[in-house]
Structure 1
Amino acid sequence: MNNTLQKNKEYKKFVVDSRLQYFKPHATKIEKTFAEEISSGLGTNSKSIHPKFFYDKKGSELFEKICSVPEYYPTRTEISILKKLQSELSSYLDEDFRLVELGSGSSTKTRLILDFLTSQKTLEYFPIDISEILTESSEELLNDYQNLTITGIIDTYEGGLEFLKTYDDKSNLIIFLGSSFGNFSPIDGYKFLEKVYATMKPGDLFLIGLDLVKDKTILESAYNDSEGVTAKFNLNVLSRINDELDADFNLQNFSHHAIYNEKDQRIEMYLKSLVDQSIIISKSDLELKLQKDELIHTEYSHKYRLSQIHDLLDDVGFELKHTWLDDKKYFSLTLVSKT
């Protein structure tokens, strides 16, 4: 392993066995960052909580449930595309590639990629996820893929990419599935793609999933499912703040609120205060005052047109290889390389 990584004092290394190791920021670093970001986001007039904080263990489990509700089309649609593109994607993989995944979660879709990499001499997987679920899903993958080795990073995408940048010289296939890229603002999304590009070596590949613009009714139903799972997912971030930052949010005083903004091509998700209230967040040294009907922004999910996707990737400097769509043209998977 690269000495730079071994000496990285911000991470603690955990070796489970000869096939599985993972790196995690020291607990003090995680708590400080969480507390500071919550204080910054909620201490302004336009209150917000970054969507990356959805994904503690319970939040990750709730998101897996969201993926199976009838109204939430992105996951099953993307899986249908992945199943169809396997033979075509293989033609771009003419050497051994390490699979790097941003936001691996439970690694359900990961298996569809691993299945057509199994012919490689070595099968190496590098999941990057902010949630502890990474360790559980990794152990399950090792049971099913006997020639697989895993090095996981429990950190933000940006932290994981920086970690990867100095790892070694092996070619990487980086995948960013789901529609998580849509959580970025246009400016931050562009900067993130620049980060991916800077991490890649010439010849590396990047496969990104993006949700497409479609009927407002379909979109709003997907984020307001009839079973209320998305509402629980949204509210869970308050439970996390209670548990980790010693806050006193009463979840009964909030409701889930999600709408589609057609002008800006995005779903907007909020937590709505149902009463005038005051909340103490001890570890952020913050007293939060909310009026009835005041909103806390928790997520944007931007939707794209194909022309916008291709222009964006081209502007960053990527070389477009191929775009795959489902039959209804609800979702896209685009493969690019670094020249």
Structure 2
Amino acid sequence: MSNTLQKNLDYKKYVIDDRLRYFKPHASKIEKTFAEEIFFSLNRCCKFIHPKFFYDKKGSDLFEKICTLPEYYPTKTEIEILKQLQDELPPYLDKTFRVVELGSGASVKTRIILDIFTKLCGHVEYFPIDISEILTESSENLLKDYEHLHITGIIDTYEGGLEFLKNYDDKKNLILFLGSSFGNFSPMDGHEFLQKINSTMKPGDLFLIGLDLVKDKQILESAYDDSQGVTAEFNLNILSRINDELDADFNLNNFSHHSLYNESDQRIEMYLKSLVNQSVVISKSNLLLNLKKDELIHTEYSHKYRLSQIRKLLDDVGFEIKHTWLDDKNHFSLTLVSKI
């Protein structure tokens, strides 16, 4: 990649050793974006905070803890499906592919894919894209266990990372979007995001996406409001992040975690509820936030899908479905597609 391109994308390159390097936007760019987005989203009648801001270091650690909870079925179920892919994915690949992952987190599920690539290719290239600094820690852990793995991390939003990748080189990619993260998008934004991925892909590239399926309401609501209160802590942590990074004075004791399943819209809805009338100063966003008792700040949607909806969604964007894998209970799906 040319120095001119790197400068234009406003990334700084960090080389740890001959097996690990990563690119990261300059800190001033990240801080400005966060401050501006918080000003926009909380300075509205229906207040919200984008769920991508959940994932600072503490938020990422809490989410990894959520994934181990008995009520939280998506991770365990998806791992069950991924194990099916050990024999069923390689026929779609060859030795010229590398692995690209959106939202790599702690890379627990990634290891199953890396095992497949290690057997297939020997030498494996892995490009994780994650907004959280946890990317560097998880990458170092992976390198300890995979002798022939080379990692190029991109610490940025999915959109930023995809644009970076589009201009990087001509190698074929298997792009992973695991978990149920796609469900966080609104239908319109999700459609646009899939179009973004499609436009980034080259002929021959593949995209593997995890999508959570419609199921019993009680199963869904328990998964997003666990008995140990870890999801509540995860939700409230976003206010701690705003306090730390944007010089705000949220009192977390004045808020509670609130979630429900909206059956008509097929989505879990997560909110922070104000327990009192209160005012909050967010200095770096130049915002005085006034909240009434019981007022809600929306933090996340998690849409659920029927298989017919998945097929239509992917077809509308211009993907060709290669295969869809399901677990035994039909709780979750993994779908492999190519660009038409």
TM range (shorter): over 0.9
Shift of 1:5: 4.0
1:196-237 CA distance string (max 9 Å, x none): 000000010000000000011000000000000000000000
Counterpart position of 2:17: 17
The answer on whether the counterparts of 2:35 and 2:246 sit within 8 Å (CA) in structure 1 is yes
Shift of 1:2: 4.6
The answer on whether the counterparts of 1:96 and 1:121 sit within 8 Å (CA) in structure 2 is no
Match of 2:121, SS?
Answer: coil
Quote the Cα distance in structure 2 between the aligned partners of 1:159 and 1:206. 17
Counterpart position of 1:99: 99
Quote the Cα distance in structure 1 between the aligned partners of 2:311 and 2:95. 26
Counterpart position of 1:319: 320
Quote the Cα distance in structure 1 between the aligned partners of 2:5 and 2:133. 20
Shift of 1:3: 4.8
Counterpart position of 2:151: 150
The answer on whether the counterparts of 1:5 and 1:163 sit within 8 Å (CA) in structure 2 is no
1:6-53 CA distance string (max 9 Å, x none): 333511111101111001111110010000000000001100000000
Counterpart position of 2:139: 138
Match of 2:8, SS?
Answer: coil
Shift of 1:173: 0.1
- Paired residues for 1:70-149 under 5 Å: 70-118=70-118, 119-149=120-150
1:243-272 CA distance string (max 9 Å, x none): 000000000000000000000000000000
The answer on whether the counterparts of 2:208 and 2:335 sit within 8 Å (CA) in structure 1 is yes
Shift of 1:138: 0.3
Counterpart position of 1:239: 240
Quote the Cα distance in structure 2 between the aligned partners of 1:143 and 1:194. 36
Quote the Cα distance in structure 2 between the aligned partners of 1:11 and 1:313. 32
Shift of 1:95: 3.5
Q: How many residues align?
A: 339
- Paired residues for 1:227-266 under 5 Å: 227-266=228-267
Quote the Cα distance in structure 1 between the aligned partners of 2:333 and 2:209. 8
- Paired residues for 1:1-339 under 5 Å: 1-3=1-3, 5-8=5-8, 10-118=10-118, 119-339=120-340
Quote the Cα distance in structure 1 between the aligned partners of 2:9 and 2:198. 25
Superposition TM-score, scaled by structure 1 size: 0.99
Superposition TM-score, scaled by structure 2 size: 0.98
Match of 1:124, SS?
Answer: strand
The answer on whether the counterparts of 2:9 and 2:164 sit within 8 Å (CA) in structure 1 is no
Quote the Cα distance in structure 2 between the aligned partners of 1:22 and 1:44. 36
Shift of 1:307: 0.5
The AA in structure 1 aligned to 2:162 is L
Structure 2 unaligned regions, length at least 5: none
Quote the Cα distance in structure 2 between the aligned partners of 1:334 and 1:287. 45
Quote the Cα distance in structure 2 between the aligned partners of 1:5 and 1:83. 39
The AA in structure 2 aligned to 1:202 is P
Quote the Cα distance in structure 1 between the aligned partners of 2:218 and 2:311. 26
Quote the Cα distance in structure 2 between the aligned partners of 1:8 and 1:62. 34
